[in-house]
Amino acid sequence: MSLDVYEYAVIRVVPRVERGEQINVGVLLYCQPRAYLCARVELSPDRLLSLDPAADVEGVRLALSAYELACGEESGPLAAESLGSRFRWLTAPRSTIVQTGPVHAGLTADPAAELDRLLGMLVRLPTN
Protein backbone atom coordinates (compact mmCIF):
# COMPACT_ATOMS: atom_id res chain seq x y z
CA MET A 1 0.00 0.00 0.00
CA SER A 2 1.54 3.29 -1.06
CA LEU A 3 1.13 6.44 0.98
CA ASP A 4 0.72 9.85 -0.59
CA VAL A 5 1.15 13.31 0.85
CA TYR A 6 -2.02 15.28 1.50
CA GLU A 7 -2.73 18.75 2.83
CA TYR A 8 -5.71 19.82 4.87
CA ALA A 9 -7.18 22.81 6.63
CA VAL A 10 -9.98 23.08 9.16
CA ILE A 11 -12.91 25.24 8.06
CA ARG A 12 -14.16 27.34 10.94
CA VAL A 13 -16.82 29.89 11.69
CA VAL A 14 -15.95 33.00 13.67
CA PRO A 15 -19.40 34.55 14.18
CA ARG A 16 -18.10 37.72 15.84
CA VAL A 17 -14.65 38.36 14.45
CA GLU A 18 -13.93 41.00 17.08
CA ARG A 19 -14.30 38.36 19.84
CA GLY A 20 -12.19 35.71 18.09
CA GLU A 21 -14.37 32.81 19.25
CA GLN A 22 -14.69 30.04 16.71
CA ILE A 23 -16.17 26.64 16.01
CA ASN A 24 -14.75 24.04 13.65
CA VAL A 25 -17.33 23.18 11.01
CA GLY A 26 -15.49 21.30 8.29
CA VAL A 27 -12.30 20.05 6.71
CA LEU A 28 -10.81 20.76 3.29
CA LEU A 29 -8.43 18.05 2.02
CA TYR A 30 -6.18 18.07 -1.06
CA CYS A 31 -4.05 15.15 -2.28
CA GLN A 32 -2.20 16.04 -5.48
CA PRO A 33 -0.93 12.53 -6.36
CA ARG A 34 -4.50 11.20 -6.25
CA ALA A 35 -6.10 14.26 -7.90
CA TYR A 36 -8.36 14.60 -4.86
CA LEU A 37 -9.89 17.80 -3.49
CA CYS A 38 -12.89 17.67 -1.21
CA ALA A 39 -14.52 19.75 1.51
CA ARG A 40 -16.92 18.27 4.04
CA VAL A 41 -18.92 20.54 6.28
CA GLU A 42 -21.09 19.82 9.32
CA LEU A 43 -22.57 22.98 10.82
CA SER A 44 -24.22 22.71 14.22
CA PRO A 45 -26.68 25.62 14.47
CA ASP A 46 -26.85 25.18 18.26
CA ARG A 47 -23.07 25.57 18.62
CA LEU A 48 -23.07 28.60 16.31
CA LEU A 49 -25.94 30.27 18.16
CA SER A 50 -24.26 29.63 21.51
CA LEU A 51 -21.44 31.94 20.38
CA ASP A 52 -23.73 34.49 18.73
CA PRO A 53 -27.49 34.26 19.28
CA ALA A 54 -27.99 36.69 16.37
CA ALA A 55 -25.90 34.67 13.88
CA ASP A 56 -27.35 34.25 10.39
CA VAL A 57 -27.35 30.44 10.26
CA GLU A 58 -28.62 30.25 6.68
CA GLY A 59 -26.08 32.85 5.52
CA VAL A 60 -23.29 30.82 7.12
CA ARG A 61 -24.61 27.63 5.48
CA LEU A 62 -24.54 29.38 2.10
CA ALA A 63 -20.96 30.56 2.62
CA LEU A 64 -19.89 27.06 3.68
CA SER A 65 -21.50 25.49 0.61
CA ALA A 66 -19.11 27.54 -1.53
CA TYR A 67 -16.23 25.39 -0.21
CA GLU A 68 -17.96 22.17 -1.21
CA LEU A 69 -19.01 23.53 -4.59
CA ALA A 70 -15.55 24.89 -5.43
CA CYS A 71 -13.99 21.45 -4.95
CA GLY A 72 -16.16 19.77 -7.57
CA GLU A 73 -16.87 22.79 -9.73
CA GLU A 74 -17.23 21.93 -13.41
CA SER A 75 -18.48 25.38 -14.36
CA GLY A 76 -18.09 28.71 -12.66
CA PRO A 77 -15.20 30.94 -11.64
CA LEU A 78 -12.87 28.16 -10.45
CA ALA A 79 -13.66 25.55 -13.11
CA ALA A 80 -10.55 26.33 -15.16
CA GLU A 81 -8.23 26.24 -12.13
CA SER A 82 -6.21 23.17 -11.14
CA LEU A 83 -7.16 21.40 -7.92
CA GLY A 84 -4.01 22.78 -6.29
CA SER A 85 -4.94 26.34 -7.27
CA ARG A 86 -8.43 25.82 -5.90
CA PHE A 87 -7.02 24.52 -2.61
CA ARG A 88 -4.69 27.53 -2.32
CA TRP A 89 -7.55 29.92 -3.11
CA LEU A 90 -9.83 28.26 -0.56
CA THR A 91 -7.18 28.32 2.17
CA ALA A 92 -6.08 31.93 1.60
CA PRO A 93 -6.34 33.97 4.83
CA ARG A 94 -9.62 35.82 5.31
CA SER A 95 -11.00 38.07 8.01
CA THR A 96 -14.61 37.06 7.40
CA ILE A 97 -16.98 34.92 9.42
CA VAL A 98 -16.05 31.75 7.50
CA GLN A 99 -12.30 31.04 7.46
CA THR A 100 -9.81 28.23 7.18
CA GLY A 101 -7.12 27.51 9.70
CA PRO A 102 -3.48 26.85 8.85
CA VAL A 103 -2.61 24.18 6.30
CA HIS A 104 -1.22 20.91 7.70
CA ALA A 105 0.16 17.85 5.91
CA GLY A 106 0.11 14.10 6.35
CA LEU A 107 0.35 10.76 4.56
CA THR A 108 -2.56 8.62 3.44
CA ALA A 109 -3.46 5.66 1.25
CA ASP A 110 -7.12 6.78 1.12
CA PRO A 111 -7.85 10.54 1.03
CA ALA A 112 -11.62 10.08 1.44
CA ALA A 113 -11.17 7.94 4.55
CA GLU A 114 -8.63 10.42 5.90
CA LEU A 115 -11.09 13.27 5.37
CA ASP A 116 -13.71 11.37 7.33
CA ARG A 117 -11.21 10.64 10.12
CA LEU A 118 -10.19 14.30 10.35
CA LEU A 119 -13.82 15.42 10.36
CA GLY A 120 -14.52 13.07 13.28
CA MET A 121 -11.45 14.19 15.19
CA LEU A 122 -11.59 17.95 14.52
CA VAL A 123 -15.24 18.84 13.94
CA ARG A 124 -17.67 16.38 15.46
CA LEU A 125 -18.23 16.49 19.18
CA PRO A 126 -17.16 13.37 21.09
CA THR A 127 -19.95 10.96 21.96
CA ASN A 128 -20.00 8.84 25.09
- Say what the pLDDT of residue 20 is: 85
- Say what the pLDDT of residue 12 is: 97
Residue 33: CB atoms within 10 A of its CB come to: 11
- Say what the pLDDT of residue 75 is: 64
Predicted structure pTM score: 0.92
* Residue ranges, the chain, pLDDT below 50: none
**Residue 24, domain member (yes or no):** yes
- Say what the pLDDT of residue 64 is: 94
- Looking at the structure of the chain, the number of domains it has is 1
- Say what the pLDDT of residue 103 is: 97
Q: What are phi and psi of 117, to 5 degrees?
A: -60, -45
- Say what the pLDDT of residue 128 is: 65
Range(s) of the domain holding residue 55:
4-118
- Name which of 116, 87, 89, 120 is nearest 104 in CA terms: 87
